[in-house]
Amino acid sequence: MTDKSTALKDALKKNRSVQVNPKENEIEKISVQKSNSDVLDNLNTIAIQLRNEEIQTLNNVCNEIKINRPKSLKKDRITKSTVIRCLIAVLEDKMNNIDFSNIDDEDSLKERLMGLLI
């Protein structure tokens, strides 16, 4: 194991902020914290960058779910994180159906992924 990967592993065990540069495989910056809750034990916290309209979309989805489900189904909260985890699960399930070649920007990726949902 390299010094860099050892440092990353140690920092993650101690729930510290670490820095990672995926292009150069060097440690740079990403915040990772383990949750203390029993329910959330296998979840990690990461910081991602979203546009204001993307955050609003996540809020709208959560509000629609909250408004449209009966009290008997309100066992677990549906949060922005829940929505993102569900979208990632769909992506993971459909990864074999995605052509990842020649994706040159975010718009190309979005177009490719939209094909999965139609």
Instruction: Encode 86-118: b = buried (16+ Cβ within 10 Å), e = exposed.
Output: eeeeeeeeeeeeeeeeeeeeeeeeeeeeeeeee
- Residue 10's pLDDT is 60
Which helix (H) or strand (E) segment holds residue 33: the answer is: strand 33-34
pTM for this prediction: 0.62
Spans of all domains in the chain: 1-47, 52-117
Largest CA distance in the chain: 53
Helices (H) and strands (E) in the chain, counts: 4, 2
**Mind listing the pLDDT tens digit for each residue in 47-90?**
999 999 999 999 999 999 999 998 888 778 899 999 999 999 99
- Residue 30's pLDDT is 47
**Nearest-angstrom CA–CA distance, 84 and 87:** 5
